[in-house]
Amino acid sequence: MKMIVLAGAANWLLIHDTAWADGVAPSPPVLWSTLHVNDTLEEAAGKLSALPDVKKVKAKAAKPGTEPTLTIDYVAGGVPILGDRFAIDPSFVGSRLRKIRLLASDDCETGAYDRYQKLMEVLQDKYPTIALDGMGVLAKSAFIEASLSALRGQPKRIGSAFTNGDIVAYVTINFMHINPPSASYGYTEINRALSNINWSFYKARAQACGGTGVDRAALSISYIPLDDFKSAVGAINAQSADDKAAAAMRL
């Protein structure tokens, strides 16, 4: 099997397999980077350990009723992609790798749309097809609406889902608003000191991002086999239909 690695800041988004020779059974599709769908815990741990931005990987075997887990330490805070650093969150089903999430820390909400645009420009080269109607490239108005919802105390998540025929890349942006800490009245000296620290942190955060630092947005990318994505969507739709039927019985 050959590997193609495109140069530039978006390497991690664009690593992919070339076609296998006729008559040779293909390996499971690439989930992300060098990791494949259905990798074992040991295989996934070994591949992650070989990534240049990973310092250490600790594997925890499955116990009855649980799935195995991987804890990852990084050389410099995560995998760099287009100016963000992402943590890697692998998920196993039946002790086989079925999902990879890349998670960026929350950042200024004001820059969320620009970050999303840059990401989608690169991501669509690898995943050119919309995976589900209504989950194409988001307009800026969707970001404004989500930001206003968070400001009203209702955290909002919006997203896009694209596929290459095997894997779905599901990009989500979570919007949140940080409320001021509660006031400290009549507490002990220790409580008042802790309250002062909380207020100092809040004020510093509020002054960031041009005075809008309490409005935050966190970007993530989930890589999921297309069949798993369709199953999840089907389950959500079925639950919605059941909820509507139950509501109709009460009306």
Both tokens of 187, joined, read 């507490």
**CB-neighbour burial class of residue 216 (10 A; exposed 0-12, middle 13-18, buried 19+):** buried
Name the one residue in this structure whose structure tokens are 């988001």.
138
CA distance 251 to 241: 15
**CB-neighbour burial class of residue 43 (10 A; exposed 0-12, middle 13-18, buried 19+):** middle
The CA-atom distances, in angstroms, between 140 and each of 144, 172, 202, 218 are 7, 14, 28, 16
Please tell me the predicted confidence (pLDDT) of residue 250: 73
Parallel, antiparallel or unpaired: strands 79-81 and 69-74: unpaired
CA distance 213 to 107: 8
Reduced to 3 states (helix: H, G, I; strand: E, B; else coil), residue 47 is helix
Please tell me the predicted confidence (pLDDT) of residue 23: 63
Residues of the chain falling short of pLDDT 50: 1-9, 14-20
**CB-neighbour burial class of residue 30 (10 A; exposed 0-12, middle 13-18, buried 19+):** buried
- Which of 238, 28, 234 minimizes the C-alpha distance to 132? 234
* 102 contacts 88 by C-beta, under 8 angstroms: yes
Terminal Cα distance for the chain, rounded: 60
Please tell me the predicted confidence (pLDDT) of residue 173: 97
